[in-house]
Amino acid sequence: MAARIVGAHLLGEEELLLFLQGVLLVTVVASLAFHIFAPVTGSKLASAAATVLGVVYIGFLFSFFVLVREMPGTGAPGALPFGLRLFVVVLFATWGADTGAYAAGKTLGRHKLCPAVSPGKTVEGMIGGFLLAMLVSSWLGWWAGFRPDHAIALGVLAAALGLVGDLSKSVIKRDMGVKDFGTLIPGHGGVLDRFDSLLINMPAAYFLAMALMR
3-state secondary structure the chain: CHHHHHHHHHCCHHHHHHHHHHHHHHHHHHHHHHHHHCCCCCCHHHHHHHHHHHHHHHHHHHHHHHHHHCCCCCCCCCCCCHHHHHHHHHHHHHHHHHHHHHHHHHHHCCCEEECCCEEEEEHHHHHHHHHHHHHHHHHHHHHHCCCHHHHHHHHHHHHHHHHHHHHHHHHHHHHHCCCCHHHCCCCCCCHHHHHHHHHHHHHHHHHHHHHHHC
What's the rounded Cα separation, in Å, for the pair 140 and 154? 10
pLDDT in the model for residue 180: 55
pLDDT given at position 158: 94
Q: How high is the pLDDT of residue 104?
A: 93
What's residue 25's pLDDT?
72
The per-residue b/e assignment along 64-74, b for 16 or more CB within 10 angstroms, e otherwise, is bbbbbbbbeee
Overall pTM > 0.85 = no
What pLDDT is attached to residue 179? 59
Cα separation, 182 vs 124, in Å, equals 28
pLDDT value for 139:
96
Evaluate whether 68 touches 206 at the Cβ level (below 8 Å): yes
Which of these, 161, 188, 184, 160, lies nearest to 173 by C-alpha position?
Answer: 184
Quick one: pLDDT at residue 6?
A: 52
- pLDDT value at residue 64: 86
Q: Per residue of the chain (214 residues), what is the pLDDT tens digit?
A: 455 455 555 555 566 667 766 776 777 677 667 666 666 666 666 666 667 777 777 777 888 888 898 888 766 556 788 999 999 999 999 999 999 999 999 999 889 988 877 888 899 999 999 999 999 999 999 999 999 999 999 999 999 998 888 887 777 766 666 555 555 444 434 455 567 789 889 999 999 998 886 5
Q: According to the model, what pLDDT value does residue 71 have?
A: 85
Contacts 24+ apart (CB under 8 A), 136-141: 136/92, 136/93, 136/95, 136/96, 137/89, 137/92, 137/93, 137/96, 140/88, 140/89, 140/92, 140/93, 141/89
pLDDT at 193: 55
